[in-house]
């Protein structure tokens, strides 16, 4: 039925040939220009006819789509891997793309044995341009739909003409050694200047057996708003579309991890996530392009480190505490919402807490709840590492810290005891807001990571995951003409350096005292990065967003 539906939608699209050409048609045209010279007719190499048969253009297009979509390659090595000519949503498992790739996607290669043959087109034939290869890659990542325009070719052309900035300008981070684990990649997808996109993507992990995961090294770009990793429960991915999607469709799913900046999540010794054989993940990436002129290439990499089942003494669990009804009027007053969390989990042992708001957020805190009352303050997002009691609290919604409890913190979760989390906002925007997914909406979400027992757990103090950037206060933020920088310590001598989106140094000034001013000058709007090095051997890094 699914296959029939795809062909029917393909027919409807092509018979109408709307003003905006479908991405599948653009892909077909690329194949005709660069591949069908050799791959056509009954004698095509490997029997792969990319011209198609039929008396009309429509019939030939349909025939080629049927030949490629989710079809097992004639190549025995690729077929043995379970790959397809076009594997919707996965370029690494799409044999056709691997043959055409030629370095565009650095993480995708033909089999090292040489049994998958040479890259195509062969030597002496016109090669695909980067734009053409990218159109095919994007089409596959969006699920290789038969109908509809899922890729804006103009944005791709702008990117490859030099109007470009990338999440990882130096290329992908190294993957774990095969005996240590594996790498997951989400993306790329492309954002026009000033655009914002959030996608979900189901991702088959292809685990041959149950494994324990003791480390997740998650790497995201500087324009990322968040990255969240979920795992579907048994059968939870049934009916979920392949490729990028905008709707979560989360009916049977478990949270694994959520971050707002690059984070190496090294679990306490003798704890691990337990991932079953054949587990399917769901990846959620949200990027905002702060540039007014450049196209942004958004990517996420997750290095997964594994160990045999039975190695860890305790399983690590992650839960998402969501307060969904948070009306926030635009009256420029402080609005507070609070939620009591008291599920019947019994005794648990906290390892981590992290809050999450959007741009109107001004505070996020969590208290222990005992005998129906909030008592000890456990988490303050205005403090470095979320640890309450800092000297110079400053809340930055873009970099809300994760608090690690070392040793694990016992917490009773029942009717009278548990957690209370609270967030505050000041809405000075044009309209009232409520809970929602975009940066113009708001959120009140807390991530809780815990074990159900502490027996056998060895907690080694976590290294500083970030520099001390969270304790520098910038005001106003975002800024228009100038920004005042406040340091928690008196600076005898310091050097403040500013970098643009490409990493190029554009400004340097000497500073001293606890406050100093940075004037914008003629720099265009967009996101910039700073580094402050002091004579006391302290280094602070962070971002400045200059508005139009």
The secondary structure element, H or E, covering residue 57 is: helix 57-68
Q: Which of 247, 280, 312 is the last residue of a domain?
A: 312
Q: What dihedral do alpha carbons 268, 183, 149, 435 form, nearest 10°?
A: 0
* SS3 track for 440-466: CCECCEEEEEEECCCCCCECCCCCCCC
| Residue 423: predicted pLDDT | 98
Strand residues in 242-294 grouped as ranges (E): 253-259, 263-266, 271-275, 280-288
SS3 assignment, position 3: helix
Q: Cα torsion for 216, 282, 207, 67, to the nearest 10°?
A: -130
Whether residue 136 is found in the same domain as residue 243: no
Is residue 36 a part of any domain in this protein? Answer: yes
Question: Beta-carbon neighbour count of residue 324 at 10 Å?
Answer: 11
Domain count, the chain: 4
Closest CA to 219 of 180, 282, 274, 169: 169
SS3 state of residue 193: coil
Answer yes or no: are the C-beta atoms of 182 and 176 closer than 8 Å: yes
Asked if 85 and 95 count as a contact pair (C-beta separation under 8 A), the reply is yes
* pLDDT of 242 over the 90 cut: yes
Mean pLDDT of the region 290-299? 91
pLDDT at site 320: 93
| pLDDT of res. 461 | 60
Per-residue pLDDT of 358-413, as tens digits, reads 999 999 999 999 999 999 999 999 987 899 998 778 888 877 889 999 899 999 99
DSSP state of 401: P
Pairing of strands 253-259, 295-308: unpaired
Tens of pLDDT, residue by residue over 41-50, are 989 999 999 9
Q: Report the pLDDT averaged over residues 260-275.
A: 93
Strand partners, 164: 295
Measured CA to CA, the distance from residue 115 to residue 77 in angstroms comes to 6
- Residue 27 clears pLDDT 70, i.e. is over it: yes
260 with 285, same domain: the answer is yes
Write out pLDDT tens, residues 483-512: 888 887 778 788 888 887 666 778 888 888
SS3 at position 511? strand
- Shared-domain flag, residues 297 and 333: no
pLDDT of residue 418: 97
Tally helices (H) and strands (E) across the chain.
Answer: 7, 24
- With a cut of 80, say whether residue 30 has pLDDT above it: yes
- My answer on whether 355 and 445 are in the same domain is yes
Q: What is the Cα–Cα distance from 164 to 174, expressed in whole angstroms?
A: 23
391 & 419 share domain: yes
| Confidence (pLDDT) at 460 | 64
Q: Is residue 161 part of a domain?
A: no
Is residue 440 in a domain? yes
536 has pLDDT over 70:
no
Same domain, 445 and 378: yes
- Say whether pLDDT at 336 is over 50: yes
User: Both 493 and 423 in a single domain?
Assistant: no
CATH number assigned to the domain comprising residue 301: 2.60.120.230
Better-predicted residue by pLDDT, 411 or 545: 411
Q: Are residues 305 and 325 in the same domain?
A: no
Query: CB-based burial of residue 112 (10 Å sphere; 0-12 exposed, 13-18 middle, 19+ buried)?
Result: exposed
For 217-251, b/e burial (b = at least 16 CB within 10 A) is bbbbbbbbbbbbbbbbeeebbeebbbbbbeeeeee
What local confidence, expressed as pLDDT, does residue 191 receive?
A: 97
Q: What is the pLDDT of residue 56?
A: 86
> So what's the pLDDT on residue 471?
61
15-19, 374-378, 469-473, 514-518: which is most confident: 374-378
Please report, for the domain that includes residue 489, its CATH number.
2.60.40.1220
Q: Which residue has the higher pLDDT, 511 or 328?
A: 328
Query: Do residues 306 and 170 both lie within one domain?
Result: yes
pLDDT above 50 (res 467) = no
What is the average pLDDT score of the chain? Answer: 89
pTM of the model: 0.83
Helices (H), 176-313: none
Structure confidence at residue 20 (pLDDT)? 57
Q: Is 463 within the bounds of a domain?
A: no
CA distance 402 to 266: 13
Residue positions counted in the chain: 548
Domain presence at residue 159? no
Do 294 and 342 share a domain, yes or no? no
pLDDT at 15 over 90: no
- Whether 156 is in a domain gets the answer no
> Looking at the DSSP assignment, which residues form a beta bridge with residue 186?
300
DSSP bridge pairs for 200: 245, 284
Distance CA 524, CA 540 (A): 23
pLDDT tens digits, 129-152:
999 999 999 999 999 999 999 999
Same domain, 79 and 180: no
| Residue 74 resides in a domain | yes
The rounded Cα 119 to chain-centroid distance in angstroms is: 30
Structural domain ending residue among the three candidates 151, 174, 193: 151
Of 417, 451, 485, which one is at a domain's C-terminal end? 451
Q: Does the structure show a pLDDT above 80 at 429?
A: yes
Task: Name 352's bridge partners.
Answer: 404, 449
Closest-CA residue to 275 (of 215, 351, 343, 349) = 215
Q: What is the pLDDT of residues 174-225, one digit of tens each?
A: 999 999 999 999 999 999 998 999 999 999 999 999 999 999 999 998 788 8
**Range from 112-121, 381-390, 406-415, 438-447 carrying the lowest mean pLDDT:** 381-390
Residue-wise pLDDT tens digits, 73-96: 999 999 999 999 999 999 999 999
Phi, psi dihedral angles at 259 (to 5 degrees): -140, 160
Residue 123 lies in domain: 2-151
548 pLDDT more than 80: no
Q: Around Cβ 122, how many Cβ atoms within 10 Å?
A: 11
**Residues 408 and 451: beta-carbon distance below 8 Å:** yes
Same domain, yes or no: 44 and 131: yes
Q: Say whether 157 sits in a helix, a strand or coil.
A: helix
In a domain, 367, yes or no: yes
DSSP class of 169: T
Computed over its alpha carbons, how large is the radius of gyration of the chain?
26
Q: Count CB neighbours of 19 within 10 A.
A: 5
CB 490 within 8 A of CB 468: no
pLDDT for 503 equals 64
């Amino acid at each position: 039925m699914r296959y029939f539906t795809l062909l029917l939608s393909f027919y409807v699209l092509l018979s109408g040939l709307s003003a905006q050409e479908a991405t599948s048609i653009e892909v077909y045209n690329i194949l005709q220009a660069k591949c069908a010279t050799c791959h056509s007719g009954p004698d095509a190499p490997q029997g792969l006819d990319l011209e198609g048969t039929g008396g009309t253009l429509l019939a030939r297009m349909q025939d080629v789509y049927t030949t490629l979509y989710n079809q097992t390659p004639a190549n025995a090595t690729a077929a043995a891997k379970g790959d397809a000519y076009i594997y919707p949503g996965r370029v690494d498992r799409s044999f056709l793309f691997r043959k055409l790739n030629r370095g565009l996607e650095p993480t995708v290669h033909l089999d090292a044995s040489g049994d998958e043959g040479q890259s195509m087109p062969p030597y002496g034939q016109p090669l695909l341009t980067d734009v053409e290869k990218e159109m095919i890659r994007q089409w596959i990542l969006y699920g290789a739909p038969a109908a509809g325009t899922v890729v804006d070719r103009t944005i791709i052309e702008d990117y490859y003409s030099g109007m470009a900035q990338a999440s990882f300008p130096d290329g992908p981070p190294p993957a774990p050694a095969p005996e240590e684990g594996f790498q997951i990649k989400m993306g790329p997808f492309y954002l026009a200047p000033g655009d914002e996109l959030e996608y979900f993507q189901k991702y088959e992990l292809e685990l041959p057996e149950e494994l324990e995961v003791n480390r997740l090294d998650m790497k995201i770009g500087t324009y990322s708003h968040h990255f969240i990793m979920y795992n579907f429960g048994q059968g939870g991915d049934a009916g979920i579309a392949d490729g990028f999607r905008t709707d979560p469709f989360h009916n049977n799913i478990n949270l694994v991890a959520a971050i707002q900046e690059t984070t190496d999540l090294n679990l306490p010794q003798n704890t691990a996530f337990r991932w079953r054989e054949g587990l399917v993940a769901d990846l959620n990436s949200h990027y905002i392009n702060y540039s007014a002129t450049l196209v942004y290439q958004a990517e996420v990499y997750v290095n997964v480190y594994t160990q045999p089942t039975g190695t860890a003494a305790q399983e690590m669990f992650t839960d998402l505490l969501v307060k969904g009804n948070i009306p926030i009027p635009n009256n420029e007053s402080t609005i507070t919402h609070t939620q009591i969390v008291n599920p019947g989990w019994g005794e648990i042992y906290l390892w981590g807490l992290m809050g999450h708001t959007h741009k109107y957020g001004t505070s996020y805190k969590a208290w222990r709840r005992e005998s129906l009352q909030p008592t000890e303050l456990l988490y303050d997002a205005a403090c470095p590492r979320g640890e309450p009691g800092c000297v110079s609290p400053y809340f930055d919604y873009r970099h809300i810290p994760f608090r690690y409890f070392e040793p694990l913190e016992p917490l009773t979760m029942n009717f009278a005891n548990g957690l209370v989390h609270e967030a505050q906002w000041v809405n000075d925007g044009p309209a009232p807001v409520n809970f929602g997914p975009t940066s113009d909406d708001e959120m009140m979400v807390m991530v809780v990571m815990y074990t159900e027992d502490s027996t056998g757990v060895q907690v080694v103090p976590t290294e500083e995951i970030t520099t001390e950037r969270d304790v520098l206060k910038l005001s106003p933020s975002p800024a228009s003409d100038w920004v005042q920088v406040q340091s928690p310590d008196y600076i005898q001598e310091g050097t403040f350096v500013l970098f643009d989106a490409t990493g190029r140094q554009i400004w340097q000034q000497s500073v001293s005292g606890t406050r100093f001013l940075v004037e914008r000058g003629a720099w265009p709007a967009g996101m910039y990065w700073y580094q402050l090095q002091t004579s006391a051997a302290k280094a602070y890094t962070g971002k400045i967003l200059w508005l139009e």
